[in-house]
């Protein structure tokens, strides 16, 4: 199928807004997880995402430490 065969877009795409499920967190919930298609997806920001791998967690901590050192220097 080529681009010329597609029907024109008749309405704007809908954006689904998800916020972190952690209490009192107002961050964007870009990390979702669901155990099966029958269960609603739960959303978290990366800081609160409970399913991070050890490597992801370590990289996140290094990033936070570097940002903190940058604040101290300035």
CB distance 57 to 43 below 8 Å: no
Predicted confidence (pLDDT) per residue in 14-35, tens digit: 778 889 999 999 998 888 888 8
Confidence of residue 10 (pLDDT cuts 50, 70, 90): confident
Mean pLDDT of 52-68: 89
Task: Provide the whole-model pTM.
Answer: 0.59
Q: What residue spans define the domains of the chain? A: 18-32+40-74
The closest of 47, 11, 3 to 29, measured between CA atoms, is 47
- Residue 41 is classified by DSSP as P
CB distance 30 to 20 below 8 Å: no
For residue 41, how many C-alpha atoms fall within 13 Å in the half-sphere facing its CB?
A: 14
């Amino acid at each position: 199928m080529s681009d010329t065969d597609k029907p024109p877009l008749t309405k704007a795409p809908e954006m689904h807004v998800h916020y972190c499920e952690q209490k009192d967190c107002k961050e964007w919930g870009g990390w979702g997880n669901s155990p099966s298609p029958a269960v609603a997806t739960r959303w978290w920001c990366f800081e609160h995402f409970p399913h991070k791998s050890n490597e992801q967690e370590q990289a996140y901590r290094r990033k936070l430490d570097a940002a903190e050192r940058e604040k101290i220097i300035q």
